[in-house]
Amino acid sequence: MSAYIKGLVVRAAGTAPAVEELRLPEVGPGQVRVGIRAAGVCHSDLSMVNGTLSPPHPLVLGHEAAGEVLEAGAGVTRVRPGTHVALNWSPACRECWFCTHGEPWLCAAANVAALENGSTLDGAPVHVTLGLGAFAEQVVVPEKAVIAVPDELSWENAALLGCAVLTGTGAVRNTARVAAGDTVVVIGLGGVGLSVVAAARAAGAAAVIAVDLTEAKKALAEAAGATDFVVSSDNLSKDIRSRTQRLGADHAFECVGRASTIRAAWRATRRGGQVTVVGMGRSDDMVELSALDIFSSARTLRASVYGSADPDVEVPALAQDVLSGALRLDHLITDRITLAEVPAAFDRMARGEGARSVVVFPGGAPQPSS
C-alpha cells in the first residue's frame, strides 16, 4: 500500500528546503519500505542545496540513515519486517565490470544520482537524493539498498555507519592503507574527517595532524584521536613539516572537496607520499599541479569513493566494532535535531561548526546508545 509521509524537499534550485507531504509508491517486487529512525546531515546533502552539485528538482534530501523494515515486497530475501537496517546509497549490482573486478564502490549501475522512484509531491514525480531521499519519515528502496544491522546498535550509530564512518574508515584502511608508524594529515573535520582521524589512530599512525579552519574543532579532533591540531593558513605546509621532521606527512586526506585544500594536502605530503581526496567538490573547481612537481615529488594523488568499500561486508563488521567498543562514535554527534531543523544544521555546517547533526525521528529516540 502507498503511504503519505513528511519529507524535506527542495522545490527548485536556490530555494530553501522545507518539510512537505509526500506520497510514497506501493512496495513492488524486490523492494522494501523502511521507517526512518535516524538520519545524519552530510556535506553531500548541503552540496545538493548550495550549488556545488546541480541535481534535478523537486528533490527529497538525505542519504545517511537507518531504520526499521516495515514492509517487504515479493522476492525479498535479505530482510523482513522488523529488521533493523542501515541504508546504502550506492548498492552494487554485482554484475557490471567494476563489481566483477573487485570494485563494487564504482558500480556502473549504482544510484549515485538524484532519481525518481515513484514518490510524488502534489501529484507530480519528485526526485530522491542518491536513490534514497532519506530525510523522510519512510522510504521505499530496492532491497539491495538496505544492510541488516544488530538490533542492539543505536539508530544514530547505524545511520553514521552508512556514510560518514564507512567513507572515512575505508579511506584509511582500503584506499590509503595507512600502516603503523605512518604520519597522517587530515584536512577538514566534519563527520568524515573525524572518522579518518579515528581510523588512522586505530591503524597505529604515529602522528595524526588534524586541520580545520578554526580552533573550535580542536576538542573534537582530540576526542577522535588526533595527536596534533593545526588551524589552516597559507603556511599550512610549513606547519606540517615542522611537525614531521621537515619531511611532510606520509599521508594526507583531503575531506573538504576544494581545489585549494587538495593543493594544500599535496604540499603537506612528503616526497613519495600519498594524497587521498575524500571530499566531493565542484566540477568547475580545477586542481592545477605543475608537470615538474608531479614528476619530482613522486607523490600519489587518488580519490576514495565511498571508502573503496563493499558496504554489504564492511557495515556489519563496523557495527560489531561499535558494539565491542573497538570503534567509538559518540564524539561524532554534536547535535540531535528534528527534520524541520535540518536547514539550520546546514548553516552550522557551512560555518564549520560541530561534527554531525542527526535527525531523530519518532521511534528512534528510545533505543539505547552503543
Q: What is the pLDDT of residues 168-220, one digit of tens each?
A: 999 999 999 999 999 999 999 999 999 999 999 999 999 999 999 989 899 99
CATH number for 237? 3.40.50.720
| C-alpha–C-alpha distance, residues 236 and 329, integer Å | 28
| C-alpha–C-alpha distance, residues 32 and 77, integer Å | 10
pLDDT for the residue numbered 112: 65
Report the domain count for the chain. 2
pLDDT for the residue numbered 59: 96
- Co-location of 190 and 211 in the same domain: yes
- Co-location of 141 and 270 in the same domain: no
| Alpha helix (H) residue ranges in the chain | 43-50, 97-100, 155-160, 166-170, 191-202, 218-224, 236-242, 259-267, 291-297, 311-324, 342-350
CATH number for 133? 3.90.180.10
- Co-location of 12 and 48 in the same domain: yes
- Co-location of 52 and 112 in the same domain: yes
Q: What is the mean pLDDT of the chain?
A: 93
- Quote the domain boundaries for residue 274: 168-305
Residue stretches of the chain with pLDDT short of 50: 366-370
Q: Examine residue 81 and say whether the peptide bond preceding it is cis (omega within 30 degrees of 0).
A: no
Q: What is the pLDDT of residues 124-158, one digit of tens each?
A: 999 999 999 999 999 999 999 999 999 999 999 99
pTM across the whole model:
0.92
- Co-location of 75 and 107 in the same domain: yes
Instruction: Determine, yes or no, domain membership for 231.
Output: yes
- Co-location of 23 and 142 in the same domain: yes
Instruction: Determine, yes or no, domain membership for 370.
Output: no
- Co-location of 149 and 93 in the same domain: yes
| C-alpha–C-alpha distance, residues 338 and 341, integer Å | 5
- Co-location of 320 and 189 in the same domain: no
